[in-house]
Structure 1
Amino acid sequence: MSQSTLFSSGLEFANLAASSGLLRRSWKGISDLYAGMNLNRRVASSFSLKYRVYEELDLTIIAFVTNPICTQDHLQPDLVSRLALKENYNFPHLEFLCAKKIPSFSVNRTAVDLLCFHRDQLVSLKSQIDHSKPLIVTGHALGGSTASLFTLWLLDSIGSGKKCPLCITFGSPLIGDKNLQQAISQSSTWNSCFLHMASYQDPVPRSLITHHSSSTQTSVYKPFGIFLLSSDKGSACFEDPSTILELLLAMGSISVPNQRMQTYHYGTIVENLHRKVICKNSTPQPGNITGFLPLQASITLQLWTVGLAHIQRQPQWDILVQKMETWEPLSWKKKISDPFKRLSEAKINIYYLEWYKNESKTRGVGCYDSYKKQLFSFDQDAIMLKKRLTVYWKDMIAEAEMKPQREGAAFRIRWLFAATNYRLMVEPLDIAEYYRSGRRDYVNQGRSKHFIQLEELLKEEESVLDNLNSSRKQNLESALTLDSCFWAHVEEALLMCKLLTSVESSVLDKELATQKLIGFEDYVYGLLKNYVVSSDIFLFQSSYMIWWNEYKKIKGNSYNSTLTKFMCDPGNYKQYAKGVFDFP
C-alpha cells in the first residue's frame, strides 16, 4: 500500500475518548477519593492505597489512589519476575499471560508490593464485582499501576461471554518489561483494555523509562495498551510501543516551570479536552503543512498537539517523524489484521486444494502423485495454493507461540482444525517436491519445522484429535491420511525395494532394507486397521501401489504376512473404502 493512502488517526481517537465521557467519569471517581485524603506529607508518606466502588446505572467504576507523595517517595525501578510473583509473593494470577515464546516476564516491584500489601481487601473487592454491567478500573499515579495489575488479575478469571473491563489510568508509571508488554499486546482484546493518559507536565509516566539495563543501555520498562498523550494544545492517542517510548522521552525535554506531579492537574486536562470536542477544537493549528503526504501531515499534527512544537526545527524532530512513518503503517497493518478473516481466506484456499484432490482422484492418480509428476495443468495451480497457505500458517505459528495460552480458546479450536487440515493436505505435496528432486530421508532431513509444531499443538488438544478420529469409517472416500508423513515412508520403502534389486548392494545393506520393509508393512497395516489412511492409496497409479507391485515381485507368491493377505485381494480395497472391512 502506498504511503499516500496512509494516515494516522491518533487525534480522532483522542477526540472519541474525550467525547465518550469516560475520562470525566473516571477522574471524578479519583478526585472524590482525593477529597477525603489527608495530604499532609508526614501522614501521607505511608505506603497506603485507597479505593472505592461507584455503582452507576450503566456501569461500575472502581477507583484507586495513593497519595502523590507516596508515589514520589516509594516508586523504585526494581522488577519482580513471574517466578518470584508466584513463589515469593504467592500471586500466581498473572500466569495466564505466559506463552511458549514468552515463558516469563517482570513487573515493577513497587506496584506489586502495593497490590499484595492490600491483597485481602482486593480479593474481597474482586468477588463483589457485578460483571453484568460494564466495568471501568481507574487510578492515578501508583494508584494507576494498581489499577493495571488489578485489571490483569480480573482478565485471568473472566470467562467467555463476560465483558472485559476497561482500565483508564492517569499519570501512571510503566509497570513491566518487554515480555509483559508482548504478552498483553499479542492479544488485541487485552491490549485494548488499557487506556493510559499522560501529560507533558507530568514526570511520573516517564520516570522509569530512563532506568537502563547495564548491558544494553535501553529502557527495561515497556508500555502496553493505548496511550493518550496530552498538552495544553490537545491530546492524541498512540498504540505502537516504540512510538510511545520515543514520545514520552521527547516530552521529557519540554521545559515546564516547577515540573512536578500535581494531584488535580488531570482534572483540568480532561475538562479542556471535553470542551475542545464540544467546541469542535478551536485551538490554533501548526504552520503550513500543505504539500505533506497524509501520513506525514497527521504525524506532524500529533507531535504538535502533544507539546513537541519546540523541537520542530531541530534534528530530533526529523528523526522522530521518520521513525513514526515506519512504525505507524506497521501498527495500522497489525490492527486491521482480522484473525477470523485471515483464517477464512486460508480455508478458501484449502477448499480449492480439496477440489484438486478430488479431481486428481477421478483421473486415477491421486493428488500426491499428480503433484509429484506435474501431470495436468491444474497441478500448477496447486503450487501457488501451497505457497500461499504455507506463508499464512508459518506466520500463524509464529503468532501462536507469542500468544498467551489461555487467550481465545474458541478461536484456538477453529484454528487447530484448519491447521490440521492444512498439514494433512499440504505436507504430502511438500514430500512430493522433496523426493522429486532426488533427495531422501524427508522425516529427519527435510521436514519443515512448522509441520512439527502444528503436530505438537494438535496433540495438546484432545477434543480436536477425538473429532478427527470419529466417524472416519463412514467418510473414507473424502478422508485424509492422519499421518501427514505417510508418503515419505512410501518413498523410503520404494528406495528399499530398489536397493534389494540392485546387484551393487551389499548383503548387509539388503538385510537392513528387508528389516525396514517389514517394519513398513507393520506400519501400513496398523494405519489400515485403524482406518486412518485414505483409500486413495489404492488408486492404480499411486506410489503406494507401485511399491506394492514391486514388493510383491521381490517377495514372491509364497510370502505371507498380515499386509499381504489384505493386499492380495483387490476386493478388500473396496470394502475398506466403504469402512466395512473386518480386520482380524
Structure 2
Amino acid sequence: CLKFIVGIIIFSNVYNIIMQIDNSNSKPLIITGNSLGGSVATLYTLSLLEKFNFTTTKRPLCITFGSPLIGDERLQEAISNYPAWNSCFLHVVSDQDPVPRVLINNGYKPFGTFLSCSELGCSCFEDPQTILELLMAAYSGSPENQDPNKVFESYGTFVEHLNRKALYKDTTDHESLIDWTTPPLRAGIITQLAAIGLVQSQQSQKIDINSVIAKIERQEKTMAILKEQAFDPTKRLNEIKVHMAYLEQYKKLSKDKRIGYYDRYKIGSNKSDIDLEKHKKTLTCYWEYMVDQAEKRPQTEGASLRTRSLFGGTNYRRMIEPLDIADYYKAGKQDYINKGRRKHYIKLEQMLKETVRPSSGPNQMKKQNVAASLTEDSCFWAHVEEALISCKLLSSGGSSVEQKDSAKKELIEFEKYVFDLMKNYAVSSEIFLPQSSFMKWWGEYRQITGASYSSSLTNLLKNDNNYVAYANGSLEFPLNFV
C-alpha cells in the first residue's frame, strides 16, 4: 500500500501542471504504470479524457502491467459501451502475477483490452466476462514464485518477446482439441488459450479446459447477438417520429373540440385515449433509455450526441409530461414537482439548460407560432393544479388562518409565474380554451378575489380580447408584474 500512497501523492503534485499541457500536439501521449501504479495511470488517463477534447487530436493510450482492477460494474459499463474511451486502455497481465486478480471477488470489473501473457505467448481479450474467467483460470502463480521483482522483470521479457513472436503462437499441444469439424469460433478460442499456456497447464492445475472453452464460446456468441441487436437510436428515429405525430394529431383534434389535450386526456377514457397510452408508453421507454445512456456515457465525448437528441427530447418532455401530471392529480395526489416527477424529465430539462442559453425575450417568430407551440415549462399544468388546490383552501370554511395565508402567497406567486410565461410567449394559447383547467382556475380565483382586485395578470385575463391577441402574437405587456 505504501507504493500506492506514494503514487497518489506524486500524481496529486503534478496533476495541475500536467493538466496545463497543450493537447493539440499531434504526438500521442502514453501513460503507463506497474502494479498499483497501473491503477494510478488508469485514473489519470480517465481524468485526461474527461478534461480535454480529443476530437481533433490523438487520444492518450494507457498501458498497465499487472494492475489491479478498478471500478465497479457501472464504471465498466460506462467505459466498455463507449469504444472511443475503451480503446485507450491496454492492460498486460502475466499468468504468474497475483495483483490483477486480488479484487475479483470484491465486485471490481475490467474494462479495456487485456493482453494475457505466459511463457508460451500472448493473447488479447476484450469481453469483460471472458477476462474475469481467464484471470482466474490462467493463473499459474504460487507462493514460491510471487517475488514482486521477478514478476516485474517478467513483463519486460514479455515485451521483448512480442517483437519476435506472432501474437497467437500456434502449438502442437492443443491438436487433440481441434480437428477439421471444429467450428471456427471454437478453434480460435482454443488457439488463444493455448497461446497463454492454459491448454498445457490444464492437467497440472486441474483445469477443466473444455468447460472454460464452452463458457467463453457462449459468451462470445451472446456478445455477437447483443451487438447485432444493439439499441441504435438513429434507426428508431423515424419510428419515434410516428409516435410523436400521433400526439400532435391528438393535440390538434382536442383544440378543435375547444379543450386542450391536457384536459381531454385528464377527463377522457375513449378509444383514442387508450391508443394514446400505447404511443405514450413507447415514447417514454425510448427517452428513459436515451437519458440513462447519456448519464452512463462519458460527458465530454457524449455532448455531441446529447445535443443532437436535445430537440427531440425537449419536444417529448413538453408533450408527454403534462399527461403524467394529469394522471398524478387525477389520482388525488399533490406536489407533483417534488414528489411525482420522473428522473428522466428532470435530466432532459437540465440538459436543455446546460446547452441552450435563455433568451432575453420573445422574437417575432415565437410570437407568431405561439398558437401551435407547446408550453415551454413542461410542469405548467402541475402549477395550475396546485393553484386550484390553493383556491379550494381559500374557499373552504375548514381551512385554518395559516393555511389560507399560505394559499394566498402561493397564488400570488402563481400569478407572477403565469405572467412571466405569457410575457415571453412561453405558454401555449391553448390554456385560454373554455374547458381548460387554467380557465377553471381563473374563474374560481376571480370569484375569490372580487371585482376590485387588480394585478398585471388579472387585468389581462379580464379582457377576453386579450386571449385572441395573445394567440396572434400581438398582445402588449406591461414592463413589470404589479
TM-score range, shorter chain: 0.7 to 0.9
Tell whether 2:198 aligns with 1:308.
Answer: yes
Shift of 1:583: 0.6
Shift of 1:343: 6.6
Paired letter, 1:253:
S
Given candidates 273, 276, 300, the residue that maps to 1:382 is 276
Whole-angstrom CA distance in 1 between matches of 2:195 and 2:361:
56
Tell whether 2:450 aligns with 1:525.
Answer: no
Whole-angstrom CA distance in 1 between matches of 2:12 and 2:60:
29
Given candidates 330, 345, 349, the residue that maps to 1:455 is 349
Given candidates 218, 226, 231, the residue that maps to 2:113 is 226
Q: Secondary structure at the match of 2:309?
A: helix
Whole-angstrom CA distance in 1 between matches of 2:117 and 2:3:
25
Is the 8 Å Cα contact of residues 68 and 102 (structure 2) preserved in structure 1? no
Whole-angstrom CA distance in 2 between matches of 1:334 and 1:94:
36
Given candidates 88, 100, 104, the residue that maps to 2:13 is 88
Task: Give the corresponding residue for 1:178.
Answer: 71
Number of equivalences: 462
User: What TM-score comes out, normalization by structure 2 length?
Assistant: 0.74
Q: Secondary structure at the match of 1:227?
A: strand
Paired letter, 1:226:
T
Task: Give the corresponding residue for 2:154.
Answer: 261
Question: For 1:46-71, what per-residue CA distance to the aligned partner results, in whole angstroms no more than 9, with x for missing partners?
Answer: xxxxxxxxxxxxxxxxxxxxxxxxxx
Given candidates 431, 443, 467, the residue that maps to 1:573 is 467
Residues 55-134 of structure 1: pairs in structure 2 closer than 5 A: 76=3, 87-91=12-16, 129-130=25-26
Question: For 1:319-378, what per-residue CA distance to the aligned partner results, in whole angstroms no more than 9, with x for missing partners?
Answer: 895598579746973794446556776565444433433343333322211221235433
Moved more, 409-418 or 338-347: 338-347
Q: Secondary structure at the match of 2:332?
A: coil
Is the 8 Å Cα contact of residues 374 and 380 (structure 1) preserved in structure 2? no
Question: For 1:540-569, what per-residue CA distance to the aligned partner results, in whole angstroms no more than 9, with x for missing partners?
Answer: 222112222333344444443322221122
* Closer, same or farther: CA 433–149 of 1 in aligned 2, 3 Å: closer
Task: Give the corresponding residue for 2:251.
Answer: 357
Whole-angstrom CA distance in 1 between matches of 2:69 and 2:141:
25
Whole-angstrom CA distance in 1 between matches of 2:262 and 2:164:
67
Shift of 1:576: 1.0
Task: Give the corresponding residue for 1:71.
Answer: none
User: What TM-score comes out, normalization by structure 1 length?
Assistant: 0.63
Paired letter, 2:454:
N
Residues 449-488 of structure 1: pairs in structure 2 closer than 5 A: 449-463=343-357, 465-466=358-359, 471-488=365-382
Is the 8 Å Cα contact of residues 94 and 152 (structure 1) preserved in structure 2? no
Shift of 1:424: 1.9
Question: For 1:195-246, what per-residue CA distance to the aligned partner results, in whole angstroms no more than 9, with x for missing partners?
Answer: 445565xx4xx4422445xxx96386x5431224466888654324343233
Shift of 1:423: 2.3
Question: For 1:388-415, what per-residue CA distance to the aligned partner results, in whole angstroms no more than 9, with x for missing partners?
Answer: 3333433444444444332233223223
Is the 8 Å Cα contact of residues 423 and 451 (structure 1) preserved in structure 2? yes
RMSD: 4.8
Task: Give the corresponding residue for 1:238.
Answer: 125
* Closer, same or farther: CA 225–562 of 1 in aligned 2, 3 Å: same
Task: Give the corresponding residue for 1:191.
Answer: 86
Shift of 1:502: 4.2
Percent sequence identity over aligned pairs: 41
Shift of 1:385: 2.9
Q: Secondary structure at the match of 2:314?
A: helix
Task: Give the corresponding residue for 2:326.
Answer: 432
Q: Secondary structure at the match of 2:114?
A: strand
Task: Give the corresponding residue for 1:40.
Answer: none
Is the 8 Å Cα contact of residues 317 and 345 (structure 2) preserved in structure 1? yes
Task: Give the corresponding residue for 1:535.
Answer: 429
Paired letter, 1:193:
C
* Closer, same or farther: CA 76–319 of 1 in aligned 2, 3 Å: farther
Residues 332-411 of structure 1: pairs in structure 2 closer than 5 A: 333=226, 336-338=230-232, 340-341=234-235, 349-411=243-305
Q: Secondary structure at the match of 1:447?
A: coil
Question: For 1:458-512, what per-residue CA distance to the aligned partner results, in whole angstroms no more than 9, with x for missing partners?
Answer: 333344x449976532321232222221101111222333344445555664454
Paired letter, 1:458:
L
Whole-angstrom CA distance in 1 between matches of 2:155 and 2:387:
77
Paired letter, 1:89:
V
Tell whether 2:139 aligns with 1:252.
Answer: yes
Shift of 1:537: 0.8
* Closer, same or farther: CA 238–355 of 1 in aligned 2, 3 Å: farther
5+ long unaligned stretches in structure 2: none
Shift of 1:272: 4.8
Shift of 1:581: 0.8
* Closer, same or farther: CA 153–496 of 1 in aligned 2, 3 Å: closer
* Closer, same or farther: CA 168–444 of 1 in aligned 2, 3 Å: closer
Q: Secondary structure at the match of 1:482?
A: coil
Whole-angstrom CA distance in 1 between matches of 2:360 and 2:157:
59
Q: Secondary structure at the match of 1:209?
A: helix
Shift of 1:301: 7.2
Shift of 1:578: 2.3
* Closer, same or farther: CA 197–567 of 1 in aligned 2, 3 Å: same
